[in-house]
A and B are shown apart, each in its own frame.
Chain A
Amino acid sequence: MSVGLEEAAASDREVRALLRQSLETVLARHVTFEQRRAAYQSSRRYSAEAWNAYAGLGLMAVSLPEAHGGVPGGLGDLAMASELMGSALALEPYRATMIGARLLAAAGTAEQQASWLPALATGARRAALAHGAPGDRAFAEASRDGAGWRINGRKRVIPGGDAADLFIVPARVDGEGEVALFLVPVEAVERRGYGCFDWTGAADLVLVDVPGPPGARLAGGEAALACALDEAVILACADAVGAMRAANRLTRDYAGTRRQFGVPIASFQVLQHRMVDMAIAEELAASITTAALAAFGQEDPASRARAVSAAKVTVGDSAQYVARQCIQIHGGMGLTEEYPAAHYFARLGMFERLFGDRDEHVRRFAASGQKDAGEAW
């Protein structure tokens, strides 16, 4: 590595450390457990104050093109932010918006970028990738209509979809069989928004003869989509790592203060070893997420897909273990709504339900040794 690059890396680290510090402050001020409860009980399902505070930091601008209001940064910065939000159980549609915005920046036309990215970068608008439900391979269909398109189909469980102003809709092009991506503003679709079991928001879409003007199709297609989906996985991994870190701290603190039989329950070796295994699970998940992030720089979709699937499986296994033992060690308290343990359980449970479950990623990983990977799950 040349000296210049090392200096650049060092300054990146400093910028990231500053961003981290600022975001921690914002989360401590706007995403306390009580504020969060008020937020998920509101009709919006997230906190506008928190969202505006993220915007105030310029968080949504990070890694977007500077020509459209972005600031320098990379996927690693987004992973750092996602991890902090996972720890704080943040409800805001940050990851959904960033996945959408980055896909637009990578695959959108110049006009599309100019008309949407500035508003996404400031947080004035939110985006979501309307990929579909886990295991749901049926893309929407787009048929040619003069110079433009008509899009029909259904999309289920789009994270952040309830708050999005703009959807990027993958649709199979009639007759050609290739997957194209379309920009669809929320006004053009029938949307049903709802809260999920972890209190975050999502939406289902019904697209009936949605008109796609000629300028609605993105320049990029399947390769860009595959990359965006891998980014969605890795940011979800980072979020889960954050949730695990917090759940483990919570559990250790609780075990240190909760007394039974006249002693803190943390003095029982059986629980000590359990909490050690939880810490190891966290460490493995964090390490493999970092390793998979490095695979994004290599511009090789097959090794990226492999690294991402390995991360999804490992983080998922760790998440399940931590979530279950967090509740177990808290006893009955772990099941109540008024205490965070249950919320971490739900957050980590959501990880397994989105962006391809364990079986799908084991399958993709196993197949990647034999044929070209990069296929969307």
Chain B
Amino acid sequence: MAVYSSEDLAFAEELRAFVRAELPASVRGKVIHGIQVEPAERRTWHKLLHSRGWAAPHWPVEHGGTGWSVERTHLFNETLAEEGAPDLGTFGLKMFGPLLIRHGSEAQRQRYLPRLLAGDDLWCQGFSEPGAGSDLASLKTRAELDGGEWVVNGQKMWTTMAHEANMMFALVRTDRDAPKPQMGLSLLLIAMDMPGLTVRPIRLLNGEQHHTNEVFFDNVRVPAENLVGEVNKGWTYARALLGNERLSIARVGWNKRQLAHIKRIAAVEGALRSPLLAARIAEAEIALMALQAMAMATLERVQASEALGIEANMLKIKGSELQQRLAELLVEIAGPRAVPLGPDGAEGDHGWAAHAFPGHFYTRVVSIYGGSNEIQRNIIARALGLGRAS
């Protein structure tokens, strides 16, 4: 396709070979089966990418980025996902890094960016709360200045990776009397080992997987210098997280990998003998081609104008729907073998089947997080001039 140059495509092949040579099969297997990788495994992979200068390709060169084109960065992300490389933590490198580069002080950038890039710090994002999900601006965790320190009280929820992270970037309320709720929010950097901060895991139905947490703040004292940018401007900074890396939100690489996984299993299991199942797999593959075509069309538009509009919201919706569909397809292929849960139930060669339901279940989250698909539709509706909901 015209979007990628032949140099880009050659680079993708090198990258593929690099992942296959360097990524341990056990880690790749975990990623493909949707099992969480160990922190040490992820860190090793992070260090390896970092040694190549590839930990944050989308960052500006002066901060350790690559200076690659949007296309090459996109191709890099998708190729890694397709090859089963573990995610390095979206919140730090993809969200927090660019935010700090744009809005942080020189001292903050010098202190945090190199450690983030090298994988020495792991960041989590403290945005959602029990009463503030899609309506994020209504969040209640508050920070008050007291003797040159911010004193934080409240509760965050659905804080992914908080149990592994040593740092959090949090949205907190610093002005309760602001004329609009989003005008009283600030962005604070909080060390996870501060006294008064407690992390409690949220157990999901898929049992052994520890993904997400509640975080409680009881008079946590944060140095004043940990405020990012200006006070009460946090909402603006958080919203500006939308960069070109949002193209990755379509998860084309992830979906490609998952489809290849499904086709391999279907071939081994003889599932293609069922014409109905074969048709459903073909339909999923067609949906993947359509998603990829939409991502490429978007990339072409970004190349032409550098602006990324509602296409990213559309990609989020379709990409997450396809992720869910592929996860369901795996359960369908597994049939009754999808029923046993845990190591006792896994049956010899069919270890994949034991992961089918947990994967299907966990994939339900992708249409909820990152701005639920309903919120995405609200944003698109507004851009189409359809007016606000009554």
Instruction: Give A residues with C-beta under 8 Å from B.
Output: 1, 252, 255-256, 263-264, 266-269, 272-273, 275-277, 279-280, 283-284, 286-288, 290-291, 294, 307, 309-310, 313-314, 362-363, 365-366
Contact = CB atoms under 8 A, between A and B. Distances in A.
A125 to B, nearest CB: 35
A268 B390 contact: yes
Given A252-B386, A266-B387, A275-B381, A291 B282 contact: no
23 contacts: A1-B2, A252-B384, A255-B386, A263-B390, A268-B390, A269-B378, A272-B378, A272-B389, A273-B374, A275-B384, A276-B377, A279-B380, A280-B317, A280-B380, A283-B311, A284-B318, A286-B297, A291-B1, A291-B289, A294-B1, A310-B289, A314-B290, A365-B282
Nearest to B278: A366
A2 to B, nearest CB: 11
Given A1-B5, A275-B386, 13 more contacts: A1-B2, A255-B386, A256-B385, A267-B388, A284-B291, A288-B290, A290-B293, A291-B293, A291-B296, A310-B286, A362-B282, A362-B286, A366-B282
A17 to B, nearest CB: 13
A313 B384 contact: no
A287 B296 contact: yes
Given A275-B381, A313-B286, A366-B278, A256 B387 contact: yes
B314 interface: yes
A78 B289 CA distance: 23
Given A272-B378, A276-B384, A279-B380, A313 B293 contact: no
B336 to A, nearest CB: 25
B252 interface: no
A110 to B, nearest CB: 34
A286 B300 CA distance: 13
Contacts of A268: 389-390
B285 interface: yes
B279 A363 contact: yes
Contacts of B374: 273
A273 B384 CA distance: 11
A266 B388 CA distance: 9
B333 interface: no
B202 interface: no
Given A284-B294, A291-B296, A294-B2, A266 B286 contact: no
B381 A276 contact: yes
B283 A362 contact: yes
Contacts of A272: 377-378, 381, 386-387, 389
Contacts of A291: 1, 289, 292-293, 296
Nearest to B6: A1
Interface string B285-328: 11101111110110000000000000100100110000000000
Q: Give the top 9 A-B pairs by smallest Cβ distance, nearest first.
A: A366-B282, A291-B293, A287-B293, A269-B389, A272-B381, A287-B294, A287-B297, A267-B390, A288-B293
A361 to B, nearest CB: 9
Nearest to B300: A290
Given A286-B297, A287-B290, A288-B290, A266 B278 contact: no
Nearest to A249: B384
A319 B32 CA distance: 34
B99 interface: no
Contacts of B381: 269, 272-273, 275-276
A252 B380 CA distance: 13
Contacts of B377: 272-273, 276-277
